[in-house]
Structure 1
Amino acid sequence: MPSRIAHALPLRWHLVRLVVGTLLPAIAFAAIVVFQLARLERRSVERRAVTSARALAAAFEREMSGSIQTLHALAESEELDRGDLESFRVECERVRRTQSSWKTVLLLSPDGQLLVNTALPVSHSPPPLAEQGSFARILESHRPTVGSLAVGRGAAKQLAFPVRVPVLREGALRYVLTAVITPDALTGVVSSQSSHEEEWTRVLVDPQGRVVARTRDPERFVGRSATSLFLERTRASHEGVFASVSMDGTSTYVAFSRSQPSGWTAAIVTPRWVLDAPVTSSMFAVGGLGFALLLVSASGAWIFSRRLERSISEAATASASLAEGHSPRMAPSSVRELAQLGEALERSGLLLRERERERDAHLASAETARAEAVAATRAKDAFLAMLGHELRNPLAPIVTSLELLRRRGLAQTPEHEVITRQLKHVVRLVDDLLDVSRITRGQMSLHREPLELVSVVARAVEAASPLIEQRRHSLQVDVPPSGLLVLADPDRLTQVVANLLTNAAKYTPPGGHIQLRAHDQEGGIALVVEDNGHGVPQEILSRIFEPFVQGPRSLDRSEGGLGIGLALVRSLVEAHGGHVEARSDGPGRGSVFTVWLPRHALAEKPLTEEERRTPVSPPVEAVPAGPVRVLVVDDNVDAAEALAELLGLSGYEVVVAHDCPGALAQAEAFRPEVAILDIGLPDVDGYGVAERIRERLGAASPVFAALTGFGQAADRARSHAAGFRQHFVKPIDVDELSAFIESLREARSGAA
């Protein structure tokens, strides 16, 4: 056995683990609190950034609103009403000089023709419009609009964006008045909103996603398109904050707000370290402090544990001495619990020696009792097996003698019927005893085949009918003629149903009612036997399927039985993969026994009752013409003589022997064609007798049939392997024996 000490940790490590386990939750809690506070601070900064972006968008809208109002005032000029465009151009130039943000003023007709351009002489050919989108919108909506940034069509190719207002007369659009504004004019807008608390970059982006104004490197980025992530996020929401990478490659957080009604976007770009710094610094602070606390606490535990380890090692040594039977000795300890442990070990040493003496005495007594119980159990099993086998020997001549009386015409009396009926009951009790013995020793075997449950029920009803009729019960059978297919041993399953019917008949007063029904249930088949008899007391209901357990019996024990029928039912049903249960409402209220069996849905068509009953005999040798000569060998003289006489009445020539020498002598003199050998002969058993007969007669050896009290599959297999053509179980079935011999006669006739 491997030692567990090699896998155990010293006390100091356990103390360190205790310290770590105690401090880690507190440190983790502190880290969570700090992290949450840092997150709140970060969210506050994000809210301020969004507020700043919203303020920047509002400032831009105010700036544009001022230009729009000025254009509206200019649109009310009387020169436009008179169509004096030259005078209107002079007025526009005057107004332009009052607006520092305007580069030029344009007047366009609804068809896009440039009528006035303050930046060009009158005779100069006007260039085409650089920004068409806002012009198309104002034609459609008749509302002021702010256009997108575009490259001018003049020689300077300067960046600018238009602010357009409609000139309406009597509800109709007469002109479109435009102020052209350069990005430099917005520098004051973005700069006036700057904050000195954080390192932020403020940006204005037009509806097409081009940067129009920027506080950082405007000459580098104005006129360029914003990043794809920026465009995706700002078009998906009106306001918000997201992580991104700026146009110059810096990791940033972007807070944005879209202005209305122009549709421009104001953005506040903040380096990530500005927002992440509080969380990072807090976590480093908590982690460093926690690590320092852990280190100090673990070092203290490590130092303190050395003293404890010495005392515990002494306690371990004392315990080892105690285990070896010596008196434990432990030095005094400054730790109260360890001092108490030392005293307890000394007291335990005294008590242990006393308990060892008591234990030795109890073990000796228990071992003796266990050996006696095992021996008694084995003796009981052996007794049951031997009792069943030995009872077959006297039953065999009795059954044979009754058959002789019947064939001689001497059995036509009520007394003979009583003897026959009671003898069948005794044979059934013996069979039950043998079955219990086989189940106890694990020797029960099943020969399964697909069959309809109704065929089993029919055989069981036939077997139980005499008792049911004797007690004048009414039996109601409700089993479908087909559709309840099971894979089962027909004989054993018949025994189950017959035992349940017999049990119901025994424990139901004369004139009672018994019902037998079967149906589908829970994917299987349920077979129910219900009666209105004595019922089962609740105190034995849970043990009713145990061997030799019986309910209250009358003084005359008219019910009979050994209390093993229901035990056989449970064992046989469970061997078939099913289960059985009993239910009763109490004495005098009847009982219900339910057997559940698995359905055999995929089995091939089952054999009919006639096919199943037809024995499949192995091929036999042809027998010469004349009466069949039969040799009967059995050490039970009565059984041998009765069987010989019965065979003689059937027209066979029969001789009898009771041991091996007699069998050999008769075989040489009589030359039998069939030899029926009792397997359990004294000195030399039936297998040895058959072998010796073959040695002496050679090819003239008879056909051998075994006669024994053992009928298990293993017994039949052994007799078949030894050359026996048939295996008969005592008491022998005379009709089955006659059929076997007649099959030899038919083979002889066919050969002839």
Structure 2
Amino acid sequence: MSAPAPSLPLRWHLVRLAVGTLLPAVVFAAVVVFQLARLERKDAERRAVRSARSLAAAFEREMSGSIRTLQALAESSHLDRGELESFRAECERVRRTQPAWRQVLLFSPDGRVLFNTSYPWGAPLPTLAEQESFTRVVETHQPIVGDVAVGKGVRRALAFPVRVPVIRAGELRYVLTAVITPESLANVVSNPSTANEEWTRTLVDHQGRVAARTRDPARFVGQPATPSFLKNTRATIEGVYPDVSMDGAPVYVAFSRTQPSDWTAAVVTPRSVLDAPVTASMLAVGGLGLMLLFASAGGAWVFSRRIERSIEQASEAATALAQGNPPHMEPSSVQELARLGEALELSGQLLRERERERDAHLAAAEVARAEAVEATQAKDVFLAMLGHELRNPLAPIVTSLEVLRRRGLAQAPEHEVISRHLRHVVRLVDDLLDMARLSRGQISLRREPIELSAVVARAVETAAPLIERRRHVLVTDVSASGLQVLADADRLTQVVANLLTNSAKYTPPGGHIQLWAREFDGGIRLIVEDDGQGLTPELIPQLFEPFVQGPRTFDRSEGGLGIGLAMVRNLVEAHGGCVEAHSEGPGRGSRFTVWLPRHAQAEAPLPQETRQGPVLSGAESMSSKRVRVLVVDDNVDAAEALADLLSMSGYEAAVAHDCPQALTRAESFRPDVALLDIGLPGVDGYGVAERIHERLGEASPVFAALTGFGQEGDRTRSQAAGFRHHFVKPIDIEDLLAFIKSLRLTRSGAA
């Protein structure tokens, strides 16, 4: 029989119970706080990496601006003609607009210095200072950001080069170099935030030499980075690692390598900043835990008296019951307090879970918003540049055709074909740029009653070159009258032409294509049928989706981008119709059926003069003298053609191609109207208008923008800059003439 366990007073049991209950909670709390502190430190590390990545991006943006400027200089006609002294003067002018540039140099491919803007023309020049980047440019024919090196000049100053190859006819002719001082990178490495986590921000070149530093730059710029820095930053693109700074202090280094320059951007933070949360949290939890343990033991010791009293009362009640007396026991509040504590603990847990869910949703929403803003900005920039590049070559073509027409040289049918298809191209460019409207199917239609035969004739004319080249036999059966629809003629022509072109592409040479139209089911059914390669059953349901195409040969002779049939469906549905495809299988041809509602009661189109609206005559709106118009455009062909057209319309016109010419012509010519290209080289159209206004004052002309940028933001900006009108290339000459005629110019009314 075992000996009984030694008995202890109730107070000691309660103290042991309190300590045993609270100790796991304290340990758990310490673990949780430690993990939270680690997460906070990880978040600080991520912020440091983002800061390093941002610093790398800022450096690349700075270098990209210098590279683009050098590339623009490399296109100078002085280089084509070998006029190096004139080109040096041009480089000096550009250098004065670039605060970061110390000098501009031109090298031959063998490394010989042809000129240096810091030395007079013909003076002896120092040799090449930084050979490695020069060799890379010669080998790769790509722009290069070089490494920090000591200059060969008298001052022996630190600098690094930005080199751009000058290519002519596929051959390297020169290497154009801008020399940049490390001091110019001070704004790049400066910390834009007020956070105290970042201690030092540094840029290190490709060879591991410090190019810029926020702390004590005079001491460290030009010095090699530490071996541990080079080892860790060469191992990966970006990251964080512990190190000892060049000052000898223990730090954490967050870095990110720039692309394509292959420099390294680093953000250095003292270890105490990132380690402090963990240390402070553990000290706080440890101290608080000890306090709680002592408080719990003391509380258990104090409150045990209540429990003892309740037990004594229970014992007295049991004794009284044994003696036959009625038991009596005062109520105890211990159970209610326990339930209250459990409820509060449960409520706290639920609240913490809700807060974590809220923070996660807010973070996801912020990321999605940032991605959407970035995508929208990229789309806007892409559409603006696309519109500018597509419209610029169309402008001189449209204007030249109008000049030929007014000179009576455009009477041949070929000129009408060119003019009609050019207008079609212009409309396609406009639709291509309105991506948001196309994606929603909101394509603008100019409807009028038209016979389907006229549409078919134009579509056959469009597809004829491809059909003839592939030696197809085309048979059309469309009544000349009686098949009238209310439609946009150009858009419906595009539908039929796309179907014919599609059949021609996917039918082997020498095949047969049939096009016929009939009344059907209260409308008109148009069918394009061929005996080409046919369609698989799996392809037909997806055929009218964007970028879906059938099998193509390796030379891609049959296919484009896969948007033709998608455009067919969108345009047909916009006209209230439908389209479907059918094939008996591969090698058995295909048939496309378009159904359109028949036009029964069409309003006759308004006469041309009614649609145009009233236009004030020159006698009503202008003074008796000839109106003088200044055309400023760096596109020589477009400027000259527009000036000829204005002269033929009764106006006195002058031409300039850049800011200096524009200022000279404005002072001597004194124009009433100035048509300014916004995308001028050097000084843009806004700057030209500002300079003309500064020189002429109240005698300034009325300004109108002439540009390939036609989005809403571009129009708003030109209006805010004081431009009276915003013309988008290719310009509509009737709109331009109406604008000039409608002006009642006074010297005080100049924009």
TM-score bracket, normalised by the shorter chain, equals 0.3 to 0.5
Give the structure-2-normalised TM-score. 0.39
Give the structure-1-normalised TM-score. 0.39
